[in-house]
Amino acid sequence: MGIAETYSRGRALAIERPFALVLGVIAAVLLGDLLLGLATGQTQFADIGTLVWDGLMRGLVIGLAGIGLSMTYSILNFANFAHGDYITAGAFSGWATTYLIAGLSRADIGALLLVGAGGSVYGGSLGIGMLSTPLAVVAGIVVAGGFAIALSLGVDRFIFRPVRNEDGITLLITSIGVAFALRYMMQFVFGSDVRGTTAQPPSVGLYFVDGTVFIDAHDITLLVIASGLMIGVHLLLQRTKLGKAMRAMADNKDLALITGIPTERVVRSTWIIGGGLTGIAGYMFVLWKGTLGFNDGWLLLLLIFAAVILGGIGSIYGAITGGLVIGLTASMSVLWIPSAFARAAAFVVMIVILLVKPSGLFSGRSTA
């Protein structure tokens, strides 16, 4: 009787949720291949530990930047394609500050402000790092967040606000225009070359079963700052009047207006919080990977959209969780496919999960 019941349930699952069944089969095959690799020695536990740590770092950046995009969508109801270029703008402003402080009296000020455009100065030669130049790094983080806030407010005031009452397509197309304008303005000012920004940070090796997993100072900095900011956003949304007003406006803008919630203040606060997190995410992304280019934010934006959609559009916690899933997928996928296809693997996982849960992992939870 038990066997018949199990068969019956399995058949019902296959009919009602075929994609869930396919997902389970694929996961079982991948897990089996991984276990076989560990058993034969082709894959080491330390390799897996390194990839998991790398995915966690990548996921924290994506999740942190995704909070701003998710807030913009839930409260202003449009997908801001300029978000990726806010990331890059914050990164360039922050790193210009870091270069200036770290290299003052050691290199030409113009070259420092242009973040070593054209190979005029290198972050490695300036010894830039969290432990070697902490003041320069902290100042860069603050400026990155502040500049992204100013940019977000400025673009909203002069570009988005005049068309805010139009349909979502108008805002979407407008944001694409803003994205291209910002991107190529940064290319014109800072150049198109990808430059190294930091010296090799000190690291510690942690023994893990059959090898060593290395964690450096910039990894820890990213972990502490990203986690702290995420906790701060949670407390803001759940414990403050502004957070409650933001959640109310995300749920029903018309009702929020009727009940006297200052919607313009909420919109402004959304840009301030989202912009600040976005700028800091851009700076931390560059600190972690050690290079900076004019299209970094654009390349990261695609993964951020994937994370926000996967987590459930409009959900802050969904954006964070989705970021971690996308980051871990992009890193772990190299166990089975060439690294050149790692980004594609993240999108495939997003599509597969959405086929099983179309509204996302945190569907129905707007803003919080």
pLDDT tens-place string over residues 312-347: 887 888 899 999 999 999 998 888 888 888 888 888
Q: Torsion angle, CA of 245/247/248/251, rounded to 10 degrees? A: 160
Cβ proximity of 290 and 198 under 8 Å: yes
Percent of the chain with pLDDT over 70: 92
Give the three-state DSSP class for 328: helix
pLDDT of 353 > 70? The answer is yes
Task: Calculate the alpha carbon distances from 54 to 60, 251, 278 in Å.
Answer: 10, 36, 20
Least confident of 33-37, 67-71, 200-204, 267-271: 33-37
pLDDT of 63 > 90? The answer is yes
Rounded to two decimals, the pTM is 0.89
Extents of the domains making up the chain? 1-43, 44-356
CA-based nearest residue to 153, from 72, 66, 238? 72
pLDDT of 221 > 80? The answer is yes
Q: What is the pLDDT of residue 35?
A: 84
Least confident of 64-68, 105-109, 174-178, 317-321: 105-109
Residue 315 main-chain phi, psi, to 5 deg: -100, 125
Cα 68 to Cα 280: distance, rounded to the nearest angstrom: 11
Domain 44-356 listed as CATH 3.30.70 = no
Torsion sign across C-alpha atoms 331, 337, 340, 346:
negative
